[in-house]
Protein backbone atom coordinates (compact mmCIF):
# COMPACT_ATOMS: atom_id res chain seq x y z
CA UNK A 1 0.00 0.00 0.00
CA UNK A 2 1.39 3.42 -0.95
CA UNK A 3 2.04 6.12 1.58
CA UNK A 4 0.41 9.51 1.25
CA UNK A 5 2.50 12.45 2.38
CA UNK A 6 1.46 16.08 2.71
CA UNK A 7 2.74 19.29 4.21
CA UNK A 8 0.25 21.68 5.76
CA UNK A 9 -0.07 24.76 7.91
CA UNK A 10 -2.76 26.83 9.56
CA UNK A 11 -2.74 30.60 9.30
CA UNK A 12 -4.96 33.59 9.94
CA UNK A 13 -6.91 33.16 6.72
CA UNK A 14 -7.27 29.40 6.81
CA UNK A 15 -5.13 26.45 5.89
CA UNK A 16 -2.61 25.66 3.15
CA UNK A 17 -1.51 22.17 2.14
CA UNK A 18 0.35 20.38 -0.64
CA UNK A 19 0.58 16.73 -1.57
CA UNK A 20 4.15 15.39 -1.70
CA UNK A 21 5.53 12.25 -3.37
CA UNK A 22 4.96 9.07 -1.35
CA UNK A 23 8.67 8.54 -0.75
CA UNK A 24 9.04 11.96 0.94
CA UNK A 25 10.58 11.74 4.40
CA UNK A 26 8.98 13.33 7.45
CA UNK A 27 11.97 15.70 7.62
CA UNK A 28 11.35 16.89 4.04
CA UNK A 29 7.60 17.21 4.65
CA UNK A 30 8.31 19.41 7.67
CA UNK A 31 10.67 21.57 5.61
CA UNK A 32 7.97 21.91 2.93
CA UNK A 33 5.51 23.08 5.62
CA UNK A 34 8.01 25.78 6.64
CA UNK A 35 8.36 26.78 2.97
CA UNK A 36 4.56 27.02 2.74
CA UNK A 37 4.56 29.27 5.79
CA UNK A 38 7.24 31.51 4.30
CA UNK A 39 5.20 31.74 1.09
CA UNK A 40 2.17 32.89 3.11
CA UNK A 41 4.39 35.46 4.86
CA UNK A 42 5.81 36.70 1.56
CA UNK A 43 2.37 37.20 0.01
CA UNK A 44 0.87 38.85 3.09
CA UNK A 45 0.53 42.55 3.70
CA UNK A 46 0.99 42.01 7.44
CA UNK A 47 4.22 43.26 9.00
CA UNK A 48 4.64 40.94 11.98
CA UNK A 49 4.65 37.16 12.02
CA UNK A 50 5.12 34.32 14.45
CA UNK A 51 6.09 31.01 12.88
CA UNK A 52 5.93 28.00 15.17
CA UNK A 53 7.25 24.54 14.43
CA UNK A 54 7.72 21.43 16.53
CA UNK A 55 10.28 20.10 14.04
CA UNK A 56 13.50 20.52 16.00
CA UNK A 57 15.56 18.86 13.24
CA UNK A 58 14.20 21.22 10.57
CA UNK A 59 14.83 24.29 12.69
CA UNK A 60 18.37 23.18 13.51
CA UNK A 61 19.03 22.43 9.82
CA UNK A 62 17.91 25.98 9.00
CA UNK A 63 20.19 27.44 11.66
CA UNK A 64 17.34 28.79 13.80
CA UNK A 65 18.02 29.48 17.46
CA UNK A 66 15.92 26.95 19.32
CA UNK A 67 14.87 27.28 22.95
CA UNK A 68 12.41 25.04 24.67
CA UNK A 69 10.31 25.61 27.74
CA UNK A 70 10.37 23.39 30.75
CA UNK A 71 8.59 23.24 34.06
CA UNK A 72 12.06 23.38 35.56
CA UNK A 73 13.28 26.96 35.17
CA UNK A 74 16.99 26.10 34.90
CA UNK A 75 16.41 23.59 32.07
CA UNK A 76 14.67 26.19 29.89
CA UNK A 77 17.28 28.84 30.70
CA UNK A 78 20.18 26.52 29.87
CA UNK A 79 18.48 25.49 26.62
CA UNK A 80 18.19 29.11 25.48
CA UNK A 81 21.75 29.97 26.51
CA UNK A 82 23.11 26.89 24.72
CA UNK A 83 21.17 27.76 21.56
CA UNK A 84 22.27 31.40 21.62
CA UNK A 85 25.92 30.43 21.95
CA UNK A 86 25.68 27.76 19.26
CA UNK A 87 24.44 30.07 16.52
CA UNK A 88 26.39 33.27 17.11
Residues 1 and 41 in one domain: yes
Residue 20 has pLDDT above 90, yes or no: yes
CB atoms within 10 A of CB 72: 9
- What pLDDT is attached to residue 47? 87
Residues 60 and 34 in one domain: no
Q: Where is average pLDDT lowest: 17-21, 36-40, 53-57, 70-74?
A: 70-74
If DSSP codes are grouped into helix, strand and coil, which group holds residue 72?
Answer: coil
Residues 7 and 39 in one domain: yes
> What residue numbers bound the domain in which 9 lies?
1-47
Residues 39 and 61 in one domain: no
User: What CA–CA distance (Å, rounded) separates 35 from 29?
Assistant: 10
Residues 36 and 13 in one domain: yes
Residue 55 has pLDDT above 70, yes or no: yes
User: What CA–CA distance (Å, rounded) separates 83 from 35?
Assistant: 23
Residues 30 and 68 in one domain: no
State the average pLDDT for the chain: 79
pTM for the model: 0.68
pLDDT above 90 as % of the chain: 25
Residues 43 and 58 in one domain: no
Count of structural domains, the chain: 2
Residues 9 and 41 in one domain: yes
Amino acid sequence: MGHRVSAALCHKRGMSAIRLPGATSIFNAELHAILLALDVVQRSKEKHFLLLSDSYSSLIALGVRVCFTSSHEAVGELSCKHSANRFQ
